Amino acid sequence: MIRHPAVQILMLTGLLLLETIIVRELGIIGLEPGIYLVFFIFIAHAQGSMRAVLIGFCLGLAVDFLSAAPLGLHSFSFSLVGYLAGSLRGKIFLDPIFMPMVLMFFAGLINLLTGTLLITIFSIAVSSHPFSGSFPLMLLFHALISPICFGLLRLTGIVPFNIRSEDR
């Protein structure tokens, strides 16, 4: 079991690097697989909002560095999404199929809406807009792969559930 947040941040950064270097070349119709985001949502729901904000901020910085996005854009989005997903810990039951899909769909939607809001408010110049033509397909893809990723993480026990009860 990986209990320390620094190890989880390194694991998610490794997934991000793997996706950036290898998996992105295999993308379908220009979709980014976003496996790191699915794993992050699982960690956020499993361990609560306090850890999710910390891990989301660090993961967002890594995404900003690797994607040449303005520094802090993804950090804010991931921190917010992590907080919201972490605040659902103990409030919803994650069944094997349906709830991971719903959780991931709304997490992806909030992530994209937050990014778009920040881009609009601060007039940030970006190479591609989050609400491009592949936006609905990306949300659907993330929702479809989430039960598989959540199941793998549960079976392997890499991320422990309910470490502390005080960070709810």
- Give the pLDDT score at 167: 46
- What's the angle, vertex CA 95, arms to CA 7 and CA 33, rounded to 5? 55
- Give the pLDDT score at 19: 79
- Give the pLDDT score at 163: 46
User: Do 114 and 76 meet the contact criterion of CB atoms below 8 Å apart?
Assistant: yes
Task: Return averaged pLDDT per consecutive 10 residues of the chain, 168 residues in all.
Answer: 76 83 66 83 92 94 86 94 94 88 94 89 74 77 91 82 49
- Give the pLDDT score at 3: 66
Residue (of 95, 102, 101) closest to 154 by Cα position? 95
As a whole number of angstroms, the distance between CA 33 and CA 30 comes to: 9
Dihedral sign for Cα atoms in the order 81, 86, 90, 93: positive
User: Do 150 and 101 meet the contact criterion of CB atoms below 8 Å apart?
Assistant: no
Tokens at 141, concatenated: 């893809």
- Give the pLDDT score at 129: 57
Residue (of 1, 4, 35, 168) closest to 91 by Cα position? 168
